[in-house]
Amino acid sequence: MGLFNLFKPARTVLVVDVVSLNEAAGQKGKIPPRNQLQMLRRLARFAQREKLAVVAVLTGTPLIKAPAGKKFEEITVLYSSSPDEHAKYLAKTAQSKGSGAVLVSSSAAAEKLAGNSVRKMRVSTFRKAFDTGSDDGGDDRSEGSNPRSRGSRPPRRRQQKPRNNKDNDNGRNEPKAERKPKPKSDTDAINELIDLVD
């Protein structure tokens, strides 16, 4: 993507506020671990695609599959102790990454606390690059790749109406099932040989 080429001269480290990213995706409050892991996987694919170092900052108890301070696929995962401390922790983490750090957040408090030494990017701007990537992660589709979230309906399947059920007709004239031929009698055989005139 061209958006991050302007950061390439120095070693860029994106410090991503996953709380803000989830809120921008319409997920607020206590987010289930499965959804958090899906977002981390998307961030890991993004980091690999863009060849960037990414530090994802969540809040609360660390996930078992993504422990604090460890690598999760391509990214480092950190956790603030609580939502009240999240802005301070984000700012401190961004400052610790040096001149190559870019704080990606929607938190005005975190941006203010980070100061002028840290470059900043709003989550809305970041999502323009983040959401354009192809996410064919099977089960971990997010709102960007889920057709239902964009307002379209799932494909409908037509239900077959049971055949030869007169109680279930509801007054509709539908084609009837093929009738089995009656066993031919002797008179039918004779009538086939003779041209009958009506």
pLDDT greater than 50 at residue 143: no
Within a domain: residue 121?
Answer: yes
Give residue 26's pLDDT.
87
Q: Is the dihedral of CA 33, 35, 39, 41 positive or negative?
A: positive
2 located within any domain: no
Q: What is the CATH number of the domain that holds 59?
A: 3.40.50
Which residues, including other chains, have CB under 8 Å from residue 80's CB and lie 6 or more apart? 57, 58, 59, 60, 86, 88, 89, 90
Check: CB of residue 43 under 8 Å from CB of residue 129. Answer: no
Per the domain annotation, does 175 fall within a domain? no
Question: Does some domain include residue 142?
Answer: no
Pairing between β-strand 119-121 and β-strand 101-104 as defined by DSSP bridges: parallel
Kindly state whether residue 126 falls inside one of the protein's structural domains.
Answer: yes
The answer to whether residue 87 is domain-embedded is: yes
For the chain, what is the domain count?
1
Q: How confident is the model at residue 131 (pLDDT cuts 50, 70, 90)?
A: confident
Tell me whether residue 18 is in a domain. yes
Is pTM, for the whole model, over 0.75? no
In a domain, 156, yes or no: no
Interval 36-50 mean pLDDT:
92
Model confidence over 23-35: pLDDT tens digits? 988 888 888 999 9
